[in-house]
A and B are shown apart, each in its own frame.
Chain A
Amino acid sequence: MVEPLLSVRGLTKHFTPTSFSRGPVVRALENVSFDVARGEVVGLVGESGSGKTTVGRSVLRLIEPTTGEVRFNGIDLTKLSVAEMRRQRKHMQYIFQDPFASLSPRMTIGQILTEGLHIQRIGTREEREHRAKAALEAVDLPADAFDRYAHEFSGGQRQRVGIARALALEPQLIVADEPVSALDVSIQAQIINLLRSLQMRLGLTMLFISHDLAVVEYICDTVIVLYLGRIMEVAPSEALYADPRHPYTRALLSAIPDPDPAKSRTRQILKGDIPSPANPPSGCVFRTRCPYAVDRCAAVVPPLEEVSPGHFKACIRHEVSG
């Protein structure tokens, strides 16, 4: 079997109080494992507090995981020194949610696009400019954008700049954290189409983080559904949307409002709030809101079980989740 580009094993992140902060331990991630093959797009989907961003940041070691392995090309990133990690990081890039906050207002687009190359000491000045301009072209921005500032561009165009910045380093892995959530509906689809065509053309490998299952359907090969720091379900995209197995995935899909007035309005509304990750429920973390929860669900942490090839769910209620 081909080695996956990224292999995450037992990733756990507990945010513990420091001398500057008080309060309980926040269990953001608990024993998360998954693989991302070369050229694959994996979606990480969940609501607030699900840990999706914590996974993305832990992979790049923008935050330090508490325990677990993050193997990238077979190298465990969690064991690397700061200098070694910096060398690895040029192979991975991050696309941020807010194109207004993530681009410096004081730098030209050209400076923004070449900064990473400069820091990684890649190429001569001319070569760096050449790569930056190629990246601009790849995201369908005009060449004259190079000498302009971020404020001269609309939200959608700024997000294209954010994508170009990631592409300029020709990374092996891109982590895109809610890249379309801040954009208008008519612009969202443009950016998703762009990411998809870049992915096909350049064979990009991507972790695509989103709170919206409807947004990731088009771009992702595999979708991981997270809830309170644990994986509830993993499946190839087609299987997940056609045949969701976990009660949480079903509820999440059912909660997305559909603009078609002809669609029946019978929705399953989950009761209650998402529990605090500082005080997660015992056993299955979803059981406090699950319509099918039984006593047993409080006693055991449900293991991820394979229900069909590549399709896993963490639910012991087989009679309802199939």
Chain B
Amino acid sequence: MHTAPVLDISSLRTVFRIGGRQVAAVQDLDLTIAPGETLALVGESGSGKSVTSLSIMGLLPRKVGQVTEGSILFRGKSGQVQDLTRLDDEGLRRIRGNDIAMVFQEPMTSLNPVYTIGEQIAEPMRIHLGCSHRKAAAAAIKLLEDVGIPDPERRAGQYPHELSGGMRQRATIAMALSCDPVLLIADEPTTALDVTIQAQILDLLQKLQDERGMGILFVTHNLGVVAEIADRVAVMYAGRIVETGTVADVFTHPRHPYTVGLMRSVPRLGEATELRRRGIPLPTIAGSVPSLVHLPTGCSFAPRCPLAIDACRAGVPPLYETGNGRKSRCIRWQEV
């Protein structure tokens, strides 16, 4: 196994045209994912995490969204490296569902209601791998079994509405894995699920990655899920990565005030009772996420940051190396 990254993004900038104006939804974004590694992209609404995943897959809304700078180098199954930003539709179609697979938040909208589960899992294998109908159908049943769906033969013949939410998400994972991708992009795959079902799906993804060794880009707003599933994390705010490193490092000793605020805002079982007893409010981050149309000058987080000084408003801070492969976009990272 080579350790060259499957995905290597540098200086990515994705803009949207809104009312005659260009708004950068993602900028200055660098990230890499090694084979068998899970990178979590975490952030709140409007942070750019989903736009990043759509940029990789070439699924930005046409005429509205566009990658204007940077490169997305992707090493496919054959070992060939291609810049996804330079591929045409046909080139991207050959890669999507084959070398890169996707799982989205809402399994009901990513499954086609008029085809059976089995047909939908078999389709990519027929298109990309040239499997016969019979061979693909048999492989689909095996995949349903692999993702933990009981009675896979019967389920393969059923339609999406006949399955529960958790089952449907298992089916979309089976579909994603059908062509044995080297990169899986999972965009909020457990957000629509109940918490006991979420635990099952996270467990399943981990098991499948151990068996197959694909890299995973896991997009989520849930820090608990990140700690559960990811090796490394990139925290996004207002279109930029503000902190990155291993999950253990970043979550134990955050080096960016936004990460600190976010970690404190997550309700922890048992802690709230103590705060309540002492009459202390829950920790929050003041203010709200800025609109991308009116980003503050300098550091985008400065208006909400307890550590902000005049220098923070002077210019956008670079990503500082803070040791152990970690980075923070804060000029005062040493004091965080």
Contact = CB atoms under 8 A, between A and B. Distances in A.
A201 interface: no
A218 B247 contact: no
A32 to B, nearest CB: 20
B318 interface: no
Given A192-B282, A218-B267, A238-B273, A257 B45 contact: no
Contact of B45 (A155, A188, A251, A274): A155
Contacts of A265: 228
Interface stretch (A60-68, A142-150, A209-217): A209-217
Nearest to A188: B265
B234 to A, nearest CB: 15
A196 B284 CA distance: 14
A192 B272 CA distance: 11
A21 B262 CA distance: 46
Given A187-B288, A211-B195, A273-B167, A218 B282 contact: yes
B227 interface: yes
22 contacts: A47-B194, A47-B195, A155-B45, A189-B265, A214-B267, A215-B267, A217-B269, A217-B276, A218-B276, A237-B273, A242-B270, A252-B195, A255-B199, A256-B195, A257-B227, A259-B224, A259-B227, A259-B268, A260-B268, A269-B200, A273-B164, A273-B197
Contacts of A187: 284, 288
Given A215-B267, A261-B251, A261-B252, A255 B227 contact: no
Interface in A15-55: 47-48
Q: Specify which of A251, A253, A255 lies most central, judged by the most chain B CB atoms within 10 Å of its CB.
A: A255
Interface residues of B, number: 47
B228 A189 contact: no
Interface of A: 47-48, 154-157, 184-190, 192-193, 196-197, 211-215, 217-218, 237-238, 241-242, 251-253, 255-263, 265, 267, 269-271, 273-274, 289
B227 A261 contact: yes
A11 B83 CA distance: 61
A257 B262 contact: no
Contacts of A197: 281
Interface in B142-187: 164-167
A189 B221 CA distance: 15
Contact of A157 (B44, B262, B273, B288): B288
Contact of B196 (A156, A212, A270): A270
Contact of A212 (B195, B199, B227): B195
B289 A217 contact: no
B292 interface: no
A251 B268 contact: no
Contacts of B267: 188-189, 212, 214-215, 217-218
B194 to A, nearest CB: 4
B285 A186 contact: yes
* Pairs of residues from A and B, 8 with the lowest C-beta to C-beta distance, nearest first: A257-B224, A218-B272, A217-B272, A186-B285, A259-B223, A47-B194, A184-B44, A214-B267
B227 A251 contact: no
Given A189-B283, A258-B269, 17 more contacts: A48-B194, A156-B288, A157-B288, A185-B266, A187-B288, A189-B267, A193-B284, A196-B276, A196-B281, A211-B195, A237-B276, A256-B224, A259-B266, A260-B268, A267-B199, A269-B200, A270-B196
B262 A217 contact: no
A263 B263 CA distance: 14
A155 B44 CA distance: 12
Contacts of B227: 257-261, 263
A259 B265 contact: no
Contact of B226 (A48, A189, A259): A259
Q: Specify which of B224, B225, B275 lies most central, judged by the most chain A CB atoms within 10 Å of its CB.
A: B224
B261 interface: yes
B202 interface: yes
A213 B198 CA distance: 15
A251 B282 contact: no
A218 B284 CA distance: 13
B209 interface: no
B203 interface: yes
A221 to B, nearest CB: 10
A185 B196 contact: no
Contacts of A213: 269
A156 B289 CA distance: 10
A214 B268 contact: yes
A185 B222 CA distance: 8
Contacts of A186: 44, 261-262, 265, 284-285, 288-289
A130 B325 CA distance: 57
Interface in B276-294: 276, 281-285, 288-289
B248 interface: yes
Interface in B199-239: 199-200, 202-203, 221-228
A229 B285 CA distance: 36
Interface string B20-50: 0000000000000000000000001100000
Contact of B273 (A155, A217, A251): A217
Contacts of B164: 273-274
Contact of A193 (B202, B221, B282): B282
A197 B225 CA distance: 30
Nearest to B228: A257
Nearest to A186: B285
A268 to B, nearest CB: 9
A188 B247 CA distance: 23
